[in-house]
């Protein structure tokens, strides 16, 4: 990494820290976790004692950082700290790659339009999660709250998955599963077998509502999804995982 890059990265963190704390009123401890620094460093960034905001950054990148701050703030408010960190790292990696290549753009394995479509879906999932949480706080019954909260959690998980995939695709990272990885997944598969045989939605709960049945069915569907995921990964004829 060149000296200039070493100077640009702290300036980006300083700008984000300042915006997230001052504009969005977020707690320094959460901002610190997302930016990968200590809370004390956030205090220094906000006070101007460390990192010069937007140092060596062009106008286009400055606008990207402003937009990124808004997305990160939304993710922090939803508790999606890992997803926020992944998005920040994606931007930093893009900047570093563009300079390391000295003008030679590193081509992604997929077309740019695919990445943009995935990013749009991330935004949609985040907005859905936020709206579901807002609606759940207004719901009068516990069952309605649970339905809306489940939808919020699912949307947040979808956004996390998509953000991780975008990072991998943008950086042309090789994705492999080691024997250790497969061993961990196989262990979870054995654990999941305990829940797969019992269908909660078929239980007789006596006068239960359709909402209760729907929630129990959703648990059954999650177990079926887990079974499908594990079979695809662990079956060499179905999965794409490679063993190192």
110-140 pLDDT, tens digit each: 677 888 888 888 888 888 888 898 899 899 9
Question: Looking at residue 31, what is its pLDDT?
Answer: 92
3-class SS of residue 207: coil
Any idea what DSSP says for residue 202?
Answer: G
Pair of tokens at residue 127: 């907005």
Question: Looking at residue 54, what is its pLDDT?
Answer: 56
Helix axes 142-170, 81-100, angle to 10 degrees: 10
pTM: 0.60
Residue the block writes with tokens 């045989």: 197
Mean pLDDT, residues 136-149 taken together: 91
User: Phi then psi for 38, rounded to 5 degrees?
Assistant: -85, 160
Per residue in 66-121, pLDDT (tens digit) is 888 888 888 888 777 877 887 787 777 766 655 554 444 445 566 778 888 888 88
Pair of tokens at residue 36: 């990968």
| CA nearest to 230, candidates 189, 179, 190 | 189
pLDDT band of 9, cuts 50, 70, 90: confident
Rounded to whole angstroms, the Cα distance separating 153 from 132 reads: 9
Q: What is the number of other CB atoms lying within 10 angstroms of the CB of residue 178?
A: 12
User: Phi then psi for 204, rounded to 5 degrees?
Assistant: -95, 105
Mean pLDDT, residues 184-190 taken together: 84
More confident residue, 87 or 15: 15
| Percent of residues, the chain, with pLDDT higher than 90 | 11
pLDDT surpassing 80 at residue 171: no
Q: What is the dihedral of CA 96, 98, 101, 107, to 10 degrees?
A: 120
Question: Looking at residue 7, what is its pLDDT?
Answer: 63
């Amino acid at each position: 990494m060149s000296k200039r890059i070493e100077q640009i990265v702290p300036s980006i963190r300083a700008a984000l820290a300042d915006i997230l704390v001052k504009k969005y009123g977020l707690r320094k401890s959460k901002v610190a976790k997302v930016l990968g620094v200590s809370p004390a460093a956030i205090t220094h960034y906000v006070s101007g004692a460390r990192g010069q905001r937007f140092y060596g950054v062009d106008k286009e990148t400055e606008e990207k950082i402003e937009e990124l701050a808004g997305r990160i703030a939304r993710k922090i408010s939803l508790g999606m700290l890992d997803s926020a960190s992944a998005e920040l790292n994606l931007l930093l990696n893009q900047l570093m790659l563009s300079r390391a290549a000295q003008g030679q753009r590193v081509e992604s394995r997929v077309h740019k339009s695919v990445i943009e479509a995935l990013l749009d879906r991330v935004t949609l999932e985040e907005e859905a999660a936020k709206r579901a949480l807002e609606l759940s706080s207004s719901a009068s019954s516990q069952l309605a709250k649970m339905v809306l909260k489940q939808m919020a959690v699912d949307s947040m998980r979808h956004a996390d998955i998509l953000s991780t995939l975008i990072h991998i695709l943008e950086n042309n990272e090789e994705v492999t599963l080691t024997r250790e990885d497969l061993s961990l997944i196989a262990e979870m598969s054995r654990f999941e077998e305990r829940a797969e045989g019992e269908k909660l939605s078929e239980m007789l709960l006596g006068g239960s509502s359709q909402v209760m049945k729907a929630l129990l069915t959703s648990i059954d569907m999650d177990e079926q999804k887990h079974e499908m995921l594990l079979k695809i990964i662990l079956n060499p004829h179905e999965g794409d995982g490679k063993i190192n």
